[in-house]
Structure 1
Amino acid sequence: MPIFAPAAAPARSELIEHLVRTRIAGDVATPRENNLSHYRKLANGDRHYWLGLELGDRWRDEQDVLAVMAERCGVVDDPDHRSGQDTIDPELTVGALDRAAAELRKAAEARLRVLFATGHPGALLDMHGALAQSLHDAGCDIVRVPLGTYTDQGVVVQFGGVAVHERAASLWHTHSPDPMAAVLDELRRTGQAPPDLVVADHGWAGYAGEQGIDTVGFADCNDPALFLGEAEDSLEVTVPLDDHVADPRFYEPMTAYLLAGARPGTA
């Protein structure tokens, strides 16, 4: 019996109101200064901010990165806005959730092999777990990570079908692509097929998309790489949201909305 038992999915307008009220979207907690700093570091070639994608020299202008983030995430598009409040457009969040639900629905209808993973276990683990349970119930093969998949001074473990990085007896908040690289390497080494679809965030999603695996990603407004990956078709969908609000339960209406849209036959 899954712990997460969502109520009826909210209507689109209700979800938008909830996202703004809980600051998952709208006026989010991430300040403008932090966003611009990350855009600049990505443009300057700092691979920590590439999240496993190979961006080459294509995004060397910070203003080009800002333009994509304004279009796909809803941050303020004025380059002279250098400090203070920044935003995520809740309409863009819900639109991306609709596209993500369509990818999940296709996976359920085709009974694909799906890998779920999160670098934000303190906030998004329940959401990913509920999605994994739903696809498992629909007949999908939820990838089980080989035992002993070691990486980044820790090990990849799973809870409710969701891969996370454990280190020093703690679930680790990580942007690193190395855990996903280790999982895919171990799957190959043990003769298992790679996933048909990855649903993840941070470097888990970026590395999978870079390897040509269909990927649904979730990303905050200070993590531009996954939005650039979507713009370049390396990811199928990137959902803009604050990826660590005050209480993980705030994501439950969004999860219920995703589950309703992912149900086979709902298109």
Structure 2
Amino acid sequence: MPILPPAPSRAELVDHLVRTRIAGEVATPRENNLDHYRKLANGNRHYWFGLEFGDRWTDEQDVLAVMAERCGVSDDPDHRQGQDTIDPMLTIDALDRAAMVLRKAAAGRQRVLFATGHPGGLMDVHRAVAEALRAAGCDIVVVPDGLRADEGMVYQIADVAVQERGATLWHTHSPAPMAAILDALEGSGQPLPDLVMADHGWAGCAGQRGIDAIGFADCNDPALFLAEAEGTVQVTIPLDDHVLSPRYYDPLTAYLLGAAGLR
């Protein structure tokens, strides 16, 4: 794993997030954001990420209001096309909240599971945190062998659970791989994680099962932000989850570990 840079200051990290488009004016267009908010509000479970919202978020404008508050997209309902944004200060505030959760995990030597549906972007973020928590005495969950979900295999690379199809790591927002892991742990009599750090449906499924969860999510993926607003997910970190280079996330990771006292 690449050596992380020194932890940046908040001001330095804001500059980096905006320059690399992890936050600020991100690549995800406004029309795509609104389309996903509408589909979630209309009950399309693909966009619920394994969470159960019942009839609590059936108004697209209510979803937009939460996304403006917690992610930093434009709150103007008449802004229908073009550029949208993630507020870098909200990203850093969420990193600070996540750091508090990680501090607690380290202090309690908790059992922690890491997983990603964005292996091309976020794999090394999860790997670095897993390595730091292991060094602090945490038990990093080992995923049982032979798991399948959504016509693919579920296994672990460098402490991070991923899905594989056809010898390729798969980009997936599905909750099914996380459900397969948790079901297998329960079925074999192993304890469930105290904490899950993941993204998308992997984090949503864990939160819905009552496990403390930290999740990463893009501005077109509202489910985890709604779950944080409801208290089902502890922290949702807003960012573009697949920018030009995975190395762009290294300063963010360094800041998170520094804030958690894990450097």
For 1:145-183, what per-residue CA distance to the aligned partner results, in whole angstroms no more than 9, with x for missing partners? 000111111111111100000111110000100000000
What corresponds to 1:100 in structure 2? 98
TM-score (norm 1): 0.97
What corresponds to 2:182 in structure 1? 184
What corresponds to 1:248 in structure 2? 246
Aligned mates of 1:5, 1:235 — CA distance in 2: 30
TM-score (norm 2): 0.99
What corresponds to 2:158 in structure 1? 160
For 1:57-112, what per-residue CA distance to the aligned partner results, in whole angstroms no more than 9, with x for missing partners? 10000000000000000000000000000000000000000000111111011100
Q: Is 1:26 paired with 2:34?
A: no
Aligned mates of 1:158, 1:136 — CA distance in 2: 16
Aligned residues: 263
What corresponds to 2:41 in structure 1? 43
For 1:215-240, what per-residue CA distance to the aligned partner results, in whole angstroms no more than 9, with x for missing partners? 00000000000000000000000000
The residue type paired with residue 207 of structure 2 is: G
Q: Which runs of 5+ in 2 are unaligned?
A: none
SS in 1 for 2:22: coil
What corresponds to 1:67 in structure 2? 65
What corresponds to 1:171 in structure 2? 169
SS in 2 for 1:156: strand
How many Å apart are 1:7 and its aligned residue? 1.9
Q: CA RMSD in A?
A: 0.9
What corresponds to 1:209 in structure 2? 207
SS in 2 for 1:200: strand
* Correspondent of 1:116 among 110, 114, 117: 114
What corresponds to 2:126 in structure 1? 128
SS in 2 for 1:114: strand
How many Å apart are 1:4 and its aligned residue? 2.7
Matched residues, percent identical?
70
Q: Which runs of 5+ in 1 are unaligned?
A: none
How many Å apart are 1:29 and its aligned residue? 0.3
Aligned mates of 1:148, 1:212 — CA distance in 2: 25
